[in-house]
Amino acid sequence: MILDIASLRAVFLGDRQADRVVPPSGFTAQLTVFAAAVMAFLAVFAMALSLAAGRLADRWGEELARSATIRIVAPLDQRAVQTEAALRILETTRGVASARALSDEEQQELLAPWFGSELALDTLPVPRLIEVIENSDGVDAAGLRLRLAAEVPGAVLDDHSRWRAPLIQAATRLRILGWASILLIAAAVAAMITLAANAALAANAQVIRVLRLVGATDGYIGQAFIRRFTLRAFSGAAVGTALGLIAMLFLPDASDAGGFLTGLGFQGWHWLWPLLIPLLAGAVAFAATGAAARRTLRELS
Amino acid sequence: MIELENVAYSYGGGELLSDISLKLAPGSFHFLTGPSGAGKTTLMKLCYGALLPTAGHIRLFGADVRGLDRDGITEIRRRVGVVHQDVQFLDHLNVTDNIALPLTVSGRHAEAAGSDLNELMSWVGLTNRADALPPELSGGERQRAALARAVIMSPDVILADEPTGNIDWEMSQRLLRLLIELNKMGKTVLIATHDLSLIRATKAHVQARVLRIANRRIQLAGADL
């Protein structure tokens, strides 16, 4: 009873005669389906979490690694001069792809969430921001700081690494946690199916003895049970996944205003990932029932 | 067909059977008798591969049982019809489906489900009980259903362990006549029973040899029966 094409075919196409030799079971069957559905529902969220965390880590890693910011903190009358000086230095710095000072409007936009849009920026000593985009060589941050310190006393270089690292680490951990949850859920499904299959095999000990006596192979007897539990786990997980996806649809869309919390959904082709959950549940049930059946049958003559 | 050569079998406690040599030739009719607990059922189980001997060799249809894997044993089961005293069925299937079960599990349901099955049902007199569930059957009906199930694959050998244990004399006679008929069709028959009057009644119809288990060994009982 290895996992081969023939036995997989038997699971899905079935044999109505073979199905009938094992008596129908009512309540416990529904429990198996229910448990599989719940596990699949949870797996959808674990998967969404993993994928969203992965996206977050990638985005932060990509965008922030290639950019830096220079703040010009100077009295209003010197700000423009110092900005010019800093830009000149950047032009001759290796590793800088482009550098530009943010306009008043852009700065206003950045500050709007905190101060409101009615703020008159020109009356406040708001530092000027210079956005530096690095090329693939990267900028020698220490060298740049020294040059800036010499020529532009009000310039502060922020290469983002200080707060980028812990954020990326957090997102990576979150992603690992999500995938670990999916593995644990799969293990729990395997345990649940094994218990249910063992119970069914024990309850049908007489059936199995009779089948052995009249010349049924282990494969035939095992198949009757494997098919049942595989289909139960598969159909339960399919329902659970569908419900989970519907729930995901009702989560608010990701938007700039909401930050990363609302990005906790599937995006693009990632919507296809959860379709693997029922298949995974079916495969887990197939293997778990097969192992349980082999164990039970070995003890019979 | 079935050959035992110096076979011994011991349970944890001690040896139940020892130094048993026996050969069931095609078409022969044997009784196996002896006191309760002498090992009749054990010997039967050795004959269809449900137990492996602790010493000696058993050859079923020319193959050593120790060399057979589980599917090999299954193959043997399809050529040996077994009737137990406490016969078990699949209680959720009706009598017809139970009798056809050996065909079903060997994937041959369709072709034989028709006239052969009906003929067999009427031969054992269960035609009007075809749709009954096994728990609804009387002791005699159960034994006859078991016999029908045992012979539907047209086995070469029929092993019956106390087939008449639970039923009255009238019904025993009827069951025995069925077994004699099978033997006349060329099947090898081995019946374990402690009912000596049954053996005597049979000997009038068929040339049967009587094997007796005594003191862990098997002896050919003489004409004293």
HSE-up of A38 (CA within 13 Å, CB side)? Answer: 8
Residue B61: inside a domain: yes
The DSSP bridge partners found for residue A101 are A130
Alpha-carbon gap, residue B39 to B70, rounded angstroms: 24
Q: Write down which residue in A132, A153, A174 finishes a domain.
A: A153
Judge contact between A127 and A72, C-beta under 8 A.
yes
Amino acid B154: pLDDT: 86
- Asked whether residue B103 is assigned to any structural domain, the reply reads no
Please indicate, yes or no, whether residues A245 and A281 belong to a single structural domain of this protein: yes
Closest CA to A262 of A38, A56, A41: A56
For A258, the token pair is: 């909401």
Q: For chain A, what is the domain count?
A: 2
Residues A131 and A173 in one domain: no
Q: Which of A153, A183, A214 is the last residue of a domain?
A: A153
The mean pLDDT value for B179-196 works out to 90
pTM: 0.73
Is the residue at A36 inside a domain?
A: yes
Which residue is associated with the tokens 């530096």?
A132
Contacts of B109 in chain A (CB under 8 A): 17
Q: Do B101 and A210 touch (CB under 8 A)?
A: yes
| Under 8 Å between Cβ of A232 and A30 | no
Count up the domains in chain B and report the number.
Answer: 1
Residues A44, A191, single domain; the answer is yes
CB contact under 8 A, A23 and B101: no
- What would the 3-class secondary structure string for A171-230 be? HHHHHHHHHHHHHHHHHHHHHHHHHHHHHHHHHCHHHHHHHHHCCCCHHHHHHHHHHHHH
Alpha helix (H) residue ranges in A14-140: 16-21, 27-65, 76-91, 104-115
User: Is residue A279 located within the same domain as residue A172?
Assistant: yes
The reply to whether A66 falls in a domain is no
Q: Containing domain of residue A256, as a range?
A: 5-60+165-298
A49 & A191 share domain: yes
* Distance to chain A for B202, nearest Cα, Å: 27
Nearest CB to A210; choose among B70, B74, B88? B88
- Between A6 and B148, the more confident residue is B148
Q: What percentage of chain B has pLDDT greater than the value 70?
A: 96
Task: Return the pLDDT at A2.
Answer: 46
Least Cα separation, residue A28 to chain B (angstroms): 18
Closest partner residue to A214 (CB to CB) among B49, B75, B149 is B149
In a domain, A100, yes or no: yes
SS3 A260: coil
| B146 Cβ neighbours under 8 A, 6+ residues apart | B83, B84, B87, B89, B163
Range of the domain at B75: 2-89+155-220
**Average pLDDT value over all residues in chain B:** 87
CB contact under 8 A, A215 and B149: no
The pLDDT score that the predictor gives to residue B224 is 47
Cα–Cα distance between B73 and B46 in angstroms, integer?
11
- Is residue B108 domain-resident? no
Contact A68, A157 (CB under 8 A): yes
pLDDT value at residue A10? 64
B181: domain CATH number? 3.40.50.300
Question: Average pLDDT of B196-215?
Answer: 87
Q: Hunting for tokens 């989970």 — which residue is that?
A: A244
| 3-state per-residue secondary structure call for chain B | CEEEEEEEEECCCCEEEEEEEEEECCCCEEEEECCCCCCHHHHHHHHCCCCCCCEEEEEECCEEHHHCCHHHHHHHHCCEEEECCCCCCCCCCCHHHHHCHHHHHCCCHHHHCCHHHHHHHHHCCCHHHCCCCHHHCCHHHHHHHHHHHHHCCCCCEEEEECCCCCCCHHHHHHHHHHHHHHHHCCCEEEEECCCHHHHHHHHCCCCCEEEEEECCEEEECCCCC
> Which of A111-125, B150-164, B185-199 shows the lowest mean pLDDT across its residues?
A111-125
Residues A136 and A227 in one domain: no
Please give the pLDDT value at position A239.
96
Closest C-alpha among A234, A283, A244 to residue A266:
A244
Q: What is the pLDDT at residue B191?
A: 93
Phi, psi angles (nearest 5°) of residue B164 = -105, 15
Query: In whole angstroms, how large is the CA radius of gyration of chain A?
Result: 31
List, for residues B99-129, the tens digit of each pLDDT value: 988 988 887 765 656 778 888 888 888 989 9
Across the interface, do B105 and A220 touch by the CB < 8 Å criterion? yes
**A172 and A148: one domain?**
no
pLDDT 10s digit of each residue in chain A, 301 long?
445 566 666 666 666 666 778 887 778 788 899 999 999 999 998 998 888 888 877 777 776 667 788 888 888 788 888 888 888 888 888 888 888 888 888 887 888 777 777 767 667 777 888 888 888 777 788 888 888 888 888 888 887 777 777 877 888 888 898 889 999 999 998 999 899 888 888 888 888 989 988 888 888 889 888 998 999 999 999 999 999 999 888 877 655 544 555 566 777 788 888 999 999 999 999 999 999 999 888 887 6
Q: What's residue A236's pLDDT?
A: 94
Residue B106 lies in a domain: no
The verdict on A242 and A196 lying in the same domain is: yes
pLDDT at A98: 83
| Residues on chain A bordering chain B, Cβ-to-Cβ distance under 8 angstroms | 17-18, 20-21, 23-24, 206-207, 209-220, 297, 301
Do residue A26 and residue A96 come from a single domain? no
Is residue A69 assigned to a domain? no
User: Is B74 part of any domain?
Assistant: yes
CB B105 within 8 A of CB B96: no
Task: Identify the bridge partners of residue A157 per DSSP, sorted by sequence position.
Answer: A70
CA-based nearest distance B223→chain A, Å: 35
Chains A, B: CB contacts within 8 A come to 62
